[in-house]
Amino acid sequence: MSLMDSLALGFQLVFHWQSLAALFGGIVVGVFAGAIPGVSATMAVALTLPFTFSLQPIYGILLLLGVYKGGIFGGSIPAILIKTPGTPASSATVLDGYPLAEQGKAGKALGMALYASCTADLISNLALILFAGWLASFALSFGPPEFFTLILFSLTIIAGVSGASLLKGLISACLGLLLATIGLDLVYGTERFVFGEPDLMGGLNFIAVLIGLFALPEIISFVWNPSDGHDKVRSLGQHHATFEEYKRSFKSIVRGSLIGVFLGSIPGIGAAPSAFLSYSEARRNSPRKDNFGKGEIEGVAASEAGNNGVAGATLIPLLALGVPGDVITAIIIGAFMIHGLQPGPMMFIANVDIIYALFLGLLVSSVLLFFVGSVAIRLFRFIADIPRSVLFPGVLVLCVFGVYAVNNSIFDIVVMFVMGWLGYFMLRVRMPAAPFLIAFILGPLLEDNFRQAMLMSGGSFDILFRGPITWFFWSVSVLSLVALVRNEMRERRSRLAQEAA
Amino acid sequence: MKAWKRLLALGALGALLTGPALAQYPERPVTLVIPYGAGGATDISARALAGPLGKLMPKPLLTVNRTGAGGATGSVSVANADPDGYTMLAARVGSHTVNPAMKATLPYTLDDFVFVGVYEINPVVCAVAESSDIQSMDDLIAKAKAEPGSVSFSSSGVGSLLHLAGAMVLNSFGVENPLETATHIPLKGGGEAATAVLAGTATFICTNSSALASFVANEQLRPLLVTTPEPLEGFDAPTASSLGHEELEQLVGWTGIAGPKGLPDEVSATWRDWLSEATADETFVDQMTKRGSVIRLMDPQESQDFINGQYETFRKLVDDLDMRIEG
């Protein structure tokens, strides 16, 4: 069967009002669910799954994919407006999105988030369609040693999000690493810092830590000092993202999309590290480096491109190998199986019509996301107009509800409040929260993959240097460390020179 | 969805306060705790069951995920709940036979629960990568014995069914010290464990057939052994008993419903009736069978015996191989 025949078959399946409605409905559900803090894209997909059982396979799967894509974008709305990432993937968006909202430019930030998301989504989908086979075999060559070196390299992000003081960034990262060790040891199953408390055996809930660290300090400092100019009205104003700004950020968007495609096609990494990596790369390469973290529109574009670039690429291992790349695709694989479809190489032969229908549906989804997103931004803009004395109590209620909903656990709410005070303390001493979060996400991955690699090799370090992929990541890690040290030295020298003058 | 159910629950509560007191269980919504994450095998199974179950029950059934520590966090929350039948648990092989057999510090024991019914059995399959030169169990065992350390198996974590299954199969086929001869590589979750075999990180995996079905159908993994008494459709591999290892038939996954110790008999009886009707639901059976499960409802006594039997087998193995996790 030629490509044209397959495409024609796919066309017949997708261009029905039912499949478009499924996709559209999914995106709407996803955007709104993602916009509620605590309701992550994962949860939205899991809750939608039962509704797909009675649908035809293609409608059901398009519905789920719509929720997935909508959810990842939706998470950026509260990240920008109320400093609370709706899903973990949008944590990096907070860094520049919220300062922009503070300056009364929320409309600009939201617009750029949407443009970057849709562009990255499109690039990611095209990568899936064109390079699925090649990327899938690349992804399979990632064993624990390759993962270890990749994550080691990713840890250099910490320097990029530390702000003014690298030392404070490192302290913050160490705190994150420390808290991430709570729970059960991966290899021996023994308890670490559990203190006999069953609630601690599973480790600290990621969403509770995330919301506590980002959203609560803002609220606590408002309660502490309600009059310090906090009540200025922050409207969306007349600020829209201009084409000029899009063009300026375009390089970062493409870079972020490609980072997303690579990290997304490797099972087990997820969207949050990709967003942070894209952000720190954008900062490193930008002429407006100093403005990052203070409300740089390119930072928003890079983060959103990084996390949406993952969304199409996670389907690469799913469709080409039958391997779920993250929790969301693991749920989507369930939907395939309920309908008697088995993702993997055979599906390209047995159900090629469905594969092509999915491809076409995905391309349409990028366009639909753009329209749904534009409407959603208009609806959510009113949040920016609410005075803080009314908004913050509402946000607090939403945070408590969201954190409880993740695991139906009161303990998680306690964790959120404790993290909130820690975050407040860090805010007071000007210690950045982002390194904490990155260490909290990447630390356990680094440890697990290191130990798995050691198990594989029987304790020999040679395995960490096997193959070209590990060497590649070792070299880029060394390169970025050297660049980092050089930068730091140069800055110190110019500061000294200034003082002398 | 949840809010809607809660609203319904509130309404039901209101009706209850005004109407005459009902003595019959349930008077208010029942919570079913799923100790694993959304989208996992237990979650899908329990939510599929909740469909027909919710229609039978006079009051709403709330399914909540309470995850962490390999199912321990959710399980202990039910063990500590009031035994009034309003907090029930979707118990699973990992949380209720493997974990209790392996972990000394687990905050609950099997005695803390009353089982009202095991309703789903998942056959276990052992497989290697299609590219591997291992064609049969004999090849695998020969390789493990010839070069200790050359064979490894992946699992979804310490204390998971996969961890125990790998050791049990090797041991049963005559490998004396399976955990020293072969390397156990724990990963995070069943999906990652299967991928590890595909990518060559580990040599073999023993896990539920549903987790491997699509890999086997796609000729990416080669099945070596199934633990069911009868050959398993879609898996071209000998049964354990045909290779002379009946003892491995104990090695199966399962899902069941349990309540805290002290659950009143009438609650248990009510649940048995609900379960026998719900597990006969065609859509439910169809959904679960497609995922590779066998739907068979055991009555409370049979469930308890089955679980205790599996626990004893696992416990003995754990003691023999010194796999118990202290501290």
Percent of chain A with pLDDT over 70: 97
Cis amide leading into A287 (omega within 30): no
The fold of the B29-122+252-321 domain, in CATH, is: D-Maltodextrin-Binding Protein; domain 2 (3.40.190)
Mutate to test the interface with B, among A355, A408, A446 (most CBs of B within 10 A): A408
What does the pLDDT average to over A19-36?
A: 92
Q: How many other CB atoms are there within 10 angstroms of residue A297's CB atom?
A: 26
B147 touches chain A (CB under 8 A): no
Q: How many other CB atoms are there within 10 angstroms of residue A245's CB atom?
A: 18
B65·A407 Cβ contact <8 A: yes
Mutate to test the interface with A, among B88, B151, B218, B318 (most CBs of A within 10 A): B218
B152 touches chain A (CB under 8 A): yes
Better-scored residue on pLDDT, B67 or A121:
A121
Judge whether residue B18 has pLDDT over 60: no
CA distance A385 to chain B (A): 27
- Portion 190-249 of B in contact with A at CB < 8 A: 191-192, 194-196, 198-201, 210, 213-215, 217-220
A322·B185 Cβ contact <8 A: no
What would the pLDDT profile of B151-166 be if each residue is shown by its tens digit?
A: 999 998 888 899 999 9
Judge whether residue B115 has pLDDT over 60: yes
pLDDT value of position A385: 74
Q: Which one of A45, A50, A456 has the shortest CB-CB distance to B201? A: A456
A184 touches chain B (CB under 8 A): yes
Better-scored residue on pLDDT, A179 or A88:
A179
ipTM above 0.85, yes or no: no
Pairing of strands B61-65, B30-34: parallel
Q: What are the percentages of helix, strand and coil residues in chain B, rounded to 5?
A: 45, 20, 35
Residue found by looking up tokens 């057999």 in the block: B101
The sheet carrying B204-208 orders its strands as B183-186, B152-155, B204-208, B124-129, B221-226
CA distance B187 to chain A (A): 8
Report how far Cα A182 is from the mean position of its chain's Cα atoms: 23
Q: How many other CB atoms are there within 10 angstroms of residue A416's CB atom?
A: 26
Strand partners for B152: B183
pLDDT value of position B327: 66
* Max avg pLDDT among A212-221, B200-209, B291-300: B200-209
A268 touches chain B (CB under 8 A): yes
The half-sphere exposure of B159 on its side-chain side, counting CA atoms within 13 A, is: 27
Amino acid at A413: I
Token code pair at residue A65 = 């994919």
Token code pair at residue A299 = 């930072």
Residue B185, H or E segment: strand B183-186
A321·B290 Cβ contact <8 A: no
* Cα(A389)–Cα(A6) distance, integer angstroms: 57
A484 touches chain B (CB under 8 A): no
B127 touches chain A (CB under 8 A): no
Token code pair at residue A476 = 């880029």
Q: Which one of A185, A268, A340 has the shortest CB-CB distance to B192? A: A268
Mutate to test the interface with B, among A407, A410, A454 (most CBs of B within 10 A): A407
Residue found by looking up tokens 């201009």 in the block: A242
Q: Three-class SS of residue B91?
A: strand
Judge whether residue A447 has pLDDT over 50: yes
What does the pLDDT average to over A228-242?
A: 58
pLDDT value of position B19: 40
What does the pLDDT average to over B202-218?
A: 89
pLDDT value of position B17: 45
pLDDT value of position B137: 94
In eight-state DSSP terms, residue B82 is -
* Cα(A134)–Cα(A468) distance, integer angstroms: 17
Q: What are phi and psi of A226, to 5 degrees?
A: -65, -15
Mutate to test the interface with A, among B53, B61, B62, B73 (most CBs of A within 10 A): B73
What would the pLDDT profile of A343-393 be if each residue is shown by its tens digit?
A: 887 788 778 888 888 889 999 999 999 999 999 988 887 777 777 788 888
**Cα–Cα nearest to A208, from A393, A408, A431, A380:** A408
CB within 8 Å of B66: residues ≥ 6 apart: A407, A408, A409, B33, B34, B35, B73, B74, B77
Give CATH for domain B124-250: 3.40.190.10
Computed over every residue of chain B, the mean pLDDT equals 87
Q: Which one of B107, B214, B218 has the shortest CB-CB distance to A198? A: B107
CB within 8 Å of A495: residues ≥ 6 apart: none
DSSP string of B225-264, one letter each residue: EE-SSSPPTT----BTGGGT-GGGGG--EEEEEEEETT--
Pairing of strands B61-65, B87-92: unpaired
Residue found by looking up tokens 């810092």 in the block: A193
Domain boundaries, chain B: 29-122+252-321, 124-250
Judge whether residue B22 has pLDDT over 70: no
In eight-state DSSP terms, residue A104 is T
The half-sphere exposure of A456 on its side-chain side, counting CA atoms within 13 A, is: 24
DSSP string of B190-231, one letter each residue: HHHHHHHHHHTSSSEEEEEHHHHHHHHHTTSEEEEEE-SSSP
* Cα(A304)–Cα(A92) distance, integer angstroms: 8
Percent of chain B with pLDDT over 70: 92
pLDDT value of position A237: 56
Token code pair at residue B201 = 């990180």
Q: Residue A235 — very low, low, confident or very high, per pLDDT cuts 50/70/90?
A: low
Alpha helices in A296-339 (DSSP H): 297-313, 315-321, 327-338
A189·B290 Cβ contact <8 A: no
Q: Is the dihedral of CA A169, A100, A116, A64 positive or negative?
A: positive
Q: Three-class SS of residue A194?
A: coil
Token code pair at residue A287 = 């002429």
| Residues of chain A contacting B98 with CB distance shorter than 8 Å | none
Q: Three-class SS of residue A2?
A: coil
B38·A189 Cβ contact <8 A: no
CA distances from A298 to A282, B15, B33, B54 (A): 8, 56, 44, 50
In eight-state DSSP terms, residue B95 is I
A189·B103 Cβ contact <8 A: yes
pLDDT value of position B21: 40
Q: Which one of B38, B184, B186 has the shortest CB-CB distance to A42? A: B38
B76 touches chain A (CB under 8 A): yes
Alpha helices in A141-226 (DSSP H): 144-154, 157-160, 166-180, 198-201, 206-224
DSSP string of B24-72, one letter each residue: SSPSS-EEEEE-S-TTSHHHHHHHHHHHHHHHHSSS-EEEEE---GGGH
Percent of chain B with pLDDT over 90: 54
pLDDT value of position A347: 81
Judge whether residue A326 has pLDDT over 80: no
Judge whether residue A463 has pLDDT over 80: yes
pLDDT value of position A187: 85
Q: What are phi and psi of B116, to 5 degrees?
A: -95, -15
Mutate to test the interface with B, among A148, A314, A336, A337 (most CBs of B within 10 A): A337
Computed over every residue of chain A, the mean pLDDT equals 86
CB within 8 Å of A239: residues ≥ 6 apart: A104, A105, A106, A107, A108
pLDDT value of position A257: 95
The sheet carrying B294-295 orders its strands as B61-65, B30-34, B87-92, B253-260, B113-122, B294-295
DSSP string of A180-206, one letter each residue: HT-EE-TTT--EES-TT-HHHHT---H
pLDDT value of position B23: 60
B291·A338 Cβ contact <8 A: yes
Where are the extended beta strands (E) located within B95-150? 113-122, 124-129
- Portion 325-354 of A in contact with B at CB < 8 A: 327, 330-331, 333-334, 337-338, 340, 342-347
Q: Which one of A46, A183, A456 has the shortest CB-CB distance to B39? A: A46
Q: How many other CB atoms are there within 10 angstroms of residue A130's CB atom?
A: 11
Q: Three-class SS of residue B126?
A: strand
Max CA-CA distance within chain B?
75
Q: Three-class SS of residue B128?
A: strand
Token code pair at residue A79 = 């990240």
Judge whether residue A157 has pLDDT over 90: no
* Cα(A381)–Cα(A370) distance, integer angstroms: 16
B184 touches chain A (CB under 8 A): yes
Judge whether residue B2 has pLDDT over 60: no
What would the pLDDT profile of A405-438 be if each residue is shown by its tens digit?
A: 777 888 999 999 999 999 999 989 999 888 998 8
* Cα(A190)–Cα(B160) distance, integer angstroms: 14
Q: Any idea which of A41-45, A140-144, A267-271, B171-175 has the lowest mean pLDDT?
A: A267-271
DSSP tally for chain A: helices H, then strands E: 23, 2
Q: Calculate the dihedral angle through the C-alpha atoms of A493, A495, A497, A501, rounding to the nearest 10 degrees.
A: 180
B39·A330 Cβ contact <8 A: yes
Token code pair at residue A114 = 């949407």
* Cα(B309)–Cα(B257) distance, integer angstroms: 17
